[in-house]
Chain A
Amino acid sequence: MKTAIIDYGSGNLHSAAKAFERALRDSDIKGRIIVTDKAEIVSECDYVVLPGVGAFADCRAGLENVDGMIETLHDVVINKARPFLGICVGTQLMATRGLEKSITPGFDWISGDVTEIKPDDSSLKVPQIGWNTINVINDHQLLNGIKTGPDGQHAYFVHSYHLVANDRSNVIAECDYGGAVTAIVGRDNMIGTQFHPEKSQKMGLALIANFLNWKP
């Protein structure tokens, strides 16, 4: 089993790769984690992970600069229906459009826009930085064994924008930050977390292991 983590110059791949390797070991799955900027390697992998740190438009531009990567992503995720996990901006790119600084098209896999979070309590700071619990909206296998709800396990968020899905059935989980903020979106073989599972200690490793065991 091969898992591709796509490298398009957007930060923090080292930590993501290490967390995935650890989850693989912990769950006794035979496989390899491959960090790659080659579209042809991604197309040979069974699982695909798109991380992303930074601004939406910069990340989109970074992906466009990798030869054939956006086309390959579309092929493996939409045509070949392989399990896909987006992380942070990688998740946001699944949307129709990003509205950070400028209007930038996303992949339009999850209908909706990426908009700035606007807590209804003015004492709440933006970006949301820190550990928050998540509330399940539509149950999902990736949350197996993870305690959710106000007394549940925490995930690490660091973001100013989130994906607001048009179809409520695409929202897997939300967190509360002066109103509902999107935490996980997904449909069919694709899922994406706004928080950083690779930085969310036990909860994150459990979610990553669930992803690597996922057979949508």
Chain B
Amino acid sequence: MSLKARIIPCLDVKDGRVVKGVSFVDLIDAGDPVEAAIAYDAAGADELCFLDITASSDNRDIIFDVVSQTAEHCFMPLTVGGGVRHLKDIRKLLNAGADKVAINTTAVKNPDFVASAADKFGNQCIVISIDAKRVSLPDEPGKWEIFTHGGRQPTGIDAVEFARLVVEKGAGEIMLTSMDQDGQKTGYDLALTRSIADAVRVPVIASGGVGTLEHLVEGIRDGHANAVLAASIFHFGTYTIGEAKRYMNDNGIAMRLD
């Protein structure tokens, strides 16, 4: 197998600024997403992800500028998510320089939107972002439910069923976040990740809960994910991208080291 597993640092961007900042290198402006992107590009990240969490509609267009400036400096794949509601939002993000667009709430509300988006732009650029919370008891077989609005709103939709549905509609990749594990630094929800990765034919990006390099290995090896997404362990310099890739490679996960 010569396709490598991917490490994807994810930057939360609000009103054009990185939330909480990035402090792993001597950035002049820790809140500048473009500067952070350039640093991650130089560090050998396999892809980069921007999640736009801008609340006010007045500032929502700022992300297009951020993406466009990033694409001027970084010749690496870029996924952008947050607030994608219409086909024209996808078109604008792709034109600005995004390679893939992550869709969350809109896909939950209207799974047919996934089909229209995949028909128009190709399934390879449609990433469905799924936020799931465990709803079964610890001694029961795993069952997870989709939550929207940053994990605040339950939907009653089963996460595995939903993943199958959006792939059938044309999703090219699943970005899967465990709302239970997010921010806990105790590792991915491996049972959830594996349940979804084994249920769909498209690649799965594991997200939520990374605290150590071993967690990244587990996400691929035990969670059957194809890529691992992490934020704080990289943003705050706990580990470098290079250290993470070497550790994974030394532990049996083939990585791109050039």
Contact = CB atoms under 8 A, between A and B. Distances in A.
A14 B75 contact: no
Interface stretch (B23-31, B49-57, B103-111, B118-126): B118-126
A89 B125 CA distance: 13
B172 A154 contact: no
29 contacts: A11-B94, A11-B121, A12-B95, A15-B71, A15-B75, A18-B72, A18-B73, A18-B97, A19-B75, A22-B75, A54-B125, A55-B122, A125-B203, A125-B204, A129-B6, A129-B172, A129-B173, A129-B226, A129-B227, A131-B46, A133-B2, A156-B77, A158-B77, A158-B125, A159-B124, A160-B123, A160-B124, A199-B76, A201-B75
A127 B121 contact: no
Contact of B203 (A121, A127, A154, A176): A127
Interface in A169-212: 175-177, 196, 198-205
A128 B3 contact: yes
Nearest to B198: A123
B133 interface: no
B205 to A, nearest CB: 9
Given A130-B46, A130-B226, A177 B121 contact: no
A127 B1 contact: no
A54 B226 CA distance: 22
B99 A158 contact: yes
A203 B71 contact: no
A164 to B, nearest CB: 18
B94 A177 contact: no
A115 interface: no
A111 to B, nearest CB: 24
A132 B75 contact: no
Interface of B: 1-6, 41, 46, 68, 71-73, 75-77, 94-100, 119-125, 172-173, 201-204, 224, 226-227, 256, 258
Interface centre among A124, A199, A205 (most CB of B within 10 A): A199
B101 to A, nearest CB: 10
A177 B254 CA distance: 14
B217 to A, nearest CB: 17
A94 interface: no
Given A18-B72, A158-B125, 9 more contacts: A12-B99, A14-B71, A14-B96, A125-B226, A129-B6, A132-B3, A153-B258, A159-B124, A196-B77
Contacts of A200: 75
Contact of A53 (B76, B122, B201, B256): B122
B71 A130 contact: no
B61 to A, nearest CB: 16
A165 interface: no
A13 interface: yes
Interface string A6-47: 000001111100110010000000000000000000000000
A126 B125 contact: no
A176 to B, nearest CB: 5
A64 interface: no
Contact of B3 (A13, A177, A203): A177
Interface in A65-118: 89
Nearest to B119: A55
A139 interface: no
